[in-house]
Amino acid sequence: MLFNPQDISRDFKPDFSFFSQHDSLTKLVQHVKYDVFNFDVLRLDLMNEFWGGNKLFKLKENIQFVLDNKLKGVVTFGGANSNHLYATAALCNQFNLPCVVLVRGEAKLRQTSTLTFMESKGATIYNLNRTDYKNKNQPEFLAYIEKLFPDFHIIPEGGNNLLGIKGCESILPGVQNNYDYILCACGTATTFTGIYNASLKNQIVIGISVLKGENRLIHDVNATLLNLHSKPYIEENRELTEEIISSTILNDYAFSGYAAFDKELIEFKNNFETETSIPLDYIYTSKLFYGASDLMRKKRISETKKVLIIHCGGLQGNADYEARYHLTDKR
């Protein structure tokens, strides 16, 4: 039986004031020396154990939209270990909003700690086979979801919509922004687009794609920029040795794939955490900091430039990754 949103009371008036606690993010900036490199890290992972990282920024305008328009709840998409689903379920619970999540893959595959957490926060979970999941952005499929859940706000996978981008535009203004280079991990490039839109004219924003073999993120970002009539297009950076002089997204650091096992990357993660005491996840931030270190080592980022790396959080998925690959803490 499908979830009935009419059964949920909306008399509760949520308090959004905690968002303003993050208007100034300067206190979350940590100076780091790793190997021979010096850079700053914006520790968004420290904001909140449930919706920390970039997820709060991708979701806050979407949740505000639901409240402002008196909609009934949220429908969104993701995998069984999705950071986005984890944060969405927690925020909807915070504001007494019904939350429906459509999860990629059959229910019989396995129960993850992320799915268990979402259930504990009252989310209603439906599983989609992978063929149906591929159609999640098709107009016919979305029309069907709207029919099933009328007056619900549909948030795309990863919070990848204009509201998500708008929320991410508030990240840079929250820090003392005097950086030459700003780096972030890219899955959907929502965070990258928001940061790029908020960057200063002389700043270079570099996205590190975590998706092996992808070649659409730059195209997708430019399509969004065209829609917004905002910043100049970003360009592919084909030269692997020259200094990066314009904003771009690189796909040289995806290793074996999105959530695949790679010994070199895990060894880097362990070494980085030992030297800096900054925890990384296996899918996003390990690749981000590996890529940043490699770019500095190859002098594609000049050692004289000031660098900020955005730690996007997502640490909650580590336990399931380690269980999947039978890893100990330091292996």
CB neighbour list of residue 300: distance below 8 Å, 6 or more residues apart: 241, 242, 243, 244
Per-residue pLDDT reduced to its tens digit, 182-194: 999 999 999 999 9
Contact 90, 114 (CB under 8 A): no
Which one, of 37, 82, 104, lies nearest residue 296 by Cα? 37
Burial 190-201 (b: 16+ CB within 10 A, else e): bbbbbbbbbbee
CATH 3.40.50.1100, the chain: domain bounds? 18-49+171-324, 55-162
Least confident of 7-21, 56-70, 135-149, 264-278: 7-21
pLDDT averaged over every residue in the chain: 90
Number of alpha carbons in the 13 Å side-chain half-sphere of residue 73: 29
Burial 235-273 (b: 16+ CB within 10 A, else e): eebeeeeeebeebbbbbebbbeeeeeebeebbebbeebb
Q: Where does the chain have alpha helices with state H? A: 55-68, 83-94, 113-120, 130-134, 139-148, 162-168, 190-198, 217-228, 263-276, 285-297, 318-324
How much is the pLDDT for 17? 56
pLDDT value at 3 more than 50: no
How much is the pLDDT for 24? 80
Contact 138, 107 (CB under 8 A): no
Per-residue pLDDT reduced to its tens digit, 286-322: 999 999 999 999 999 999 999 999 999 999 999 999 9
Least confident of 4-18, 42-56, 143-157, 202-216: 4-18
CA dihedral 123, 127, 131, 136 (to 10 degrees): -20
Instruction: Please give the Cα distance from 154 to 165 (Å, whole number).
Output: 15
Which listed CATH number (1.10.3720.10, 3.30.43.10, 3.90.1150.10, 3.40.50.1100) goes with 18-49+171-324? 3.40.50.1100
**Bridge partners of 101?**
76, 125
Instruction: Please give the Cα distance from 148 to 20 (Å, whole number).
Output: 34
How much is the pLDDT for 235? 87
Q: What is the mean pLDDT of residues 71-90?
A: 96
Instruction: Please give the Cα distance from 100 to 102 (Å, whole number).
Output: 7
How much is the pLDDT for 6? 40
pLDDT value at 18 more than 60: no
Note the pTM of the prediction, 2 decimals: 0.91
Question: Class assignment of domain 55-162?
Answer: alpha beta
DSSP letter at 259? S
Per-residue pLDDT reduced to its tens digit, 209-265: 999 888 799 999 999 999 998 888 998 876 667 899 999 999 999 998 888 999 999
Number of alpha carbons in the 13 Å side-chain half-sphere of residue 80: 20
With cut-offs at 50, 70 and 90, classify the pLDDT of residue 9.
very low
Q: What is the mean pLDDT of residues 9-21?
A: 49
With cut-offs at 50, 70 and 90, classify the pLDDT of residue 109.
low
DSSP letter at 40? E
